[in-house]
Amino acid sequence: MALIGYARVSTVGQSLENQIDLLKEYGCTRIFQEKQSGSKSNREALQQALEYMRDGDKLIVTKIDRLARSVKDLHNIASQLEDRGIGLVFLKEQIDFSTPSGKLMFTMLGAIGEFERDLINERTAEGRERAKKQGKHMGRPGQPSKNLERALELFANREESGISVNDIVKMTGVPRSTIYAKQNKHKLL
Q: Could you give the residue numbers annotated as active site?
A: 10
Q: What is the pLDDT, as a whole number, of residue 73?
A: 82
What gap in Å lies between CA 171 and CA 174, rounded to an integer?
8
Q: What is the pTM of this model?
A: 0.58
Please give the pLDDT value at position 18: 93
Please give the DSSP secondary-structure letter assigned to residue 7.
Answer: E
C-alpha span between 177 and 189 (Å, rounded): 19
Per-residue pLDDT of the chain (189 residues; tens, 9 = 90+): 899 999 998 887 788 999 999 999 999 999 999 987 766 667 889 999 999 999 999 999 999 888 886 778 888 888 899 999 999 999 998 888 878 888 788 778 777 877 888 888 899 999 989 988 998 877 776 666 788 888 888 988 888 888 888 988 998 888 888 888 877 765 544
93 φ, ψ to 5°? -80, -10
Report whether 23 contacts 62 (CB < 8 A): yes
| Beta strands 87-90 and 95-96, pairing class | antiparallel
Sheet holding 58-61, edge to edge: 30-35, 3-9, 58-61, 87-90, 95-96
The H-or-E segment that residue 102 falls in is: helix 100-133
Q: How far apart are CA 34 and CA 28, in angstroms?
A: 16
